[in-house]
Amino acid sequence: MSRRPHQIAILGTGYVGLGTAALLAHLGHHVTGIDVDVCKIEQLQRAEIPIYEPGLEKLLLSNTSQLTWTTDFSAVQQADTIFICVGTPPSADGTPDLQFLQTAVASLAPYLGRKQQIIVNKSTVPIGTGDLVVRLLEDLAPEFDASVHYVVSNPEFLREGSALEDSLYPDRIVLGGLDTALDHMISVYAPLIEQSFTPPASAPRPERYTRPAVVRTTLQSAEMIKYAANAFLALKVSFANEIAGLCEHVGADIEEVTTGIGLDSRIGHRFLQAGLGWGGSCFGKDTQGLISAGREHAYAMPILQAAIDVNARQRQMVINKLLRHLRTMKGKRIGVLGMAFKPNTDDLRDAPAYTLIQRLAELGAVVTAHDPVAMARAEREWSHLKYSSAVNAAQVFQRADAVIIATEWDEYRQLDWEALVATMRRPLIIDSRNLLRHPLTAQVEQVGRELKGTIGAAL
Ligand SMILES: NC(=O)C1=CN([C@@H]2O[C@H](COP(=O)(O)OP(=O)(O)OC[C@H]3O[C@@H](n4cnc5c(N)ncnc54)[C@H](O)[C@@H]3O)[C@@H](O)[C@H]2O)C=CC1
Ligand SMILES: O=C(O)[C@H]1O[C@H](OP(=O)(O)OP(=O)(O)OC[C@H]2O[C@@H](n3ccc(=O)[nH]c3=O)[C@H](O)[C@@H]2O)[C@H](O)[C@@H](O)[C@@H]1O
């Protein structure tokens, strides 16, 4: 496989753009990150990383000679591979909003030259968007030539919180488009496919890892693979949550049940963690996106709709449990532990904690919330919500009528739970992530299970 370093331009420096930049720079390519957000680019130029993602800063800083940050789209001229990594948020009706993607294409179009350049779509986009990008380039790029300019779909599968490991050691690399363009992409990813790069200290190679599978397919199938993968994972979590709800009625333990079913290699253990349900910028958006694609073709997708409904019910379930114990929320002091949509990220998009805080405030509760990394961001992005930020996790418990565990941050496992419960007005814990391992001298509600063990034992 060819070993030449490529000249890469990345449009959009969010979670995916930065993850891709870090990966490709580490593989030895020259990467220019381009964004319309001037503040973000200035931060990156000062070597400040605008998001919280474990290991990302170290990896980017260890490859600074390979990386340039700019708001100037003319940098596209030098690139042989141009990645589009802009956001595709849902519109009000659930269809993905392509305005950022269309603007990005319009901004790069004047700088396409006469040499071979591959335009790679990494954003999650509706099936058919690859063809739309070709049409946009035909209209907007003066030098567009279908024999040298190719559009490729290369969906991203990284998870926030483990972006580096997911990028450096992926299960598969999906490439959709014409053969010439896919051969080019394989030369971009050659060190990753062969696993011939030096593992960075910030994300060491997992003990058991085999090389990624390379899936060569059409634009449409690659676009569909991305949606179908996210939808299936969301479905798996909702399935575990639906079974968990029934476990509570019949006295079964969801963790033992998921262990039992996960041992069947056809099912597997991952993404069966019952709890508060999924949040984040993608599962909700992409399940809705598929449903709206179906709607365009008068094709119903009842399984996906059910997964969404079960997920919404999980958030309400927490409120119901609180009301069962406290009867009313009016004037009740409620602590919320965890605000980010999952641990190890500061991302608050579609975070279940948001729905909880909003609902609790509507019902008249006085809410105090804590998160190890997302609190400052929440003060900016959730300024319209009625709650106060805690100075530390312990403050959430003080004189509280109940504490909800909304995000299973590891540091919450290390708390001195018995001592903290003793500071509450009423010892009620709604452990909606099944984080606690042993009972406390408190009423503890988990999802689909009852705590077994010795009161006061270590977690
Ligand atoms: N966040 C995640 O974990 C994953 C996201 N995805 C998909 O990747 C895409 C990007 O997601 P995120 O990185 O989370 O988005 P993000 O919202 O964190 O970042 C998007 C970036 O694009 C920039 N941008 C907007 N318009 C632009 C333009 N015209 N030119 C250049 N930059 C522009 C924004 O300023 C922002 O910095 C979405 O389609 C998402 O569904 C896919 C896999 C994982
Ligand atoms: O397209 C995307 O953006 C990404 O969406 C998810 O990644 P992410 O949303 O970052 O995080 P996940 O680890 O998948 O968690 C999503 C949500 O599901 C919840 N979850 C996950 C797993 C589980 O067993 N139970 C559960 O409730 C998490 O708490 C979180 O709220 C997918 O896992 C990635 O492969 C994909 O690239």
Global ipTM: 0.99
Ligand 2 centroid from CA 241, angstroms: 14
Both structure tokens of 324: 């069962």
- Is any ligand 1 atom within 6 A of the Cβ of residue 86? yes
Nearest ligand atom owner, CA of 15: 1
Taking the C-alpha atoms of residue 34 and residue 10, their distance in angstroms, rounded to an integer, is 6
The reply to whether ligand 1 has any atom less than 6 angstroms from the CB of 258 is no
For residue 152, the one-letter residue type is V
Torsion over CA: 219, 220, 223, 224 (sign): negative
Whether the CB of 226 sits within 6 Å of ligand 2: no
Instruction: Identify the segments of the chain with pLDDT beneath 70.
Output: 1-2, 454-459
| d(CA 16, ligand 1 centre) in Å | 6
Pocket test for ligand 2, best of 56, 121, 235, 237 (most atoms within 8 A of CB): 237
* pLDDT score recorded for residue 4: 86
Burial of 391 (0-12, 13-18, 19+ CB in 10 A): exposed
Query: What is the chain's length?
Result: 459
Quote the ligand 1 centre to 426 CA distance (angstroms): 43
**Annotated binding site for substrate: which residue ranges?**
157-160, 226, 271-275, 279, 342
Assess whether the C-beta atom of 197 lies below 6 angstroms from ligand 1: no
Per-residue confidence (pLDDT) for residue 218, from 0 to 100: 98
CB 167 within 8 A of CB 20: yes
Phi, psi values for residue 248, rounded to 5°: -60, -35
- What is the position in ligand 2's atom list of the atom closest to the CA of 341? 31
Indicate whether this model's pTM tops 0.95: yes
Q: Find out whether 421 and 442 touch, Cβ atoms under 8 Å.
A: yes
Three-state secondary-structure class, residue 30? strand
pLDDT of residue 452: 78
The ligand 2 atom nearest the CA atom of 161:
10
**Distance from Cα 233 to the centre of ligand 1, integer Å:** 21
Question: Ligand 2, from 226, 287, 310, 342: best to mutate by most atoms within 8 Å of Cβ?
Answer: 342
Q: Is 85 a catalytic residue?
A: no
- Is the four-CA dihedral 259, 263, 267, 269 of positive or negative sign? positive
Q: How far apart, in whole angstroms, are the C-alpha atoms of residue 100 and residue 108?
A: 12
Query: What are the chain's domains?
Result: 7-217 (3.40.50.720), 218-459 (3.40.50.720)
285-to-12, 87, 88, 324 alpha-carbon distances in Å: 19, 11, 9, 32
Report the separation in Å between the CA atom of 420 and the middle of ligand 1, taken as the mean of its atom positions. Answer: 40
CB of 275 within 6 A of ligand 2: the answer is: yes
Alpha carbons 26 and 63: distance in angstroms, whole number: 6
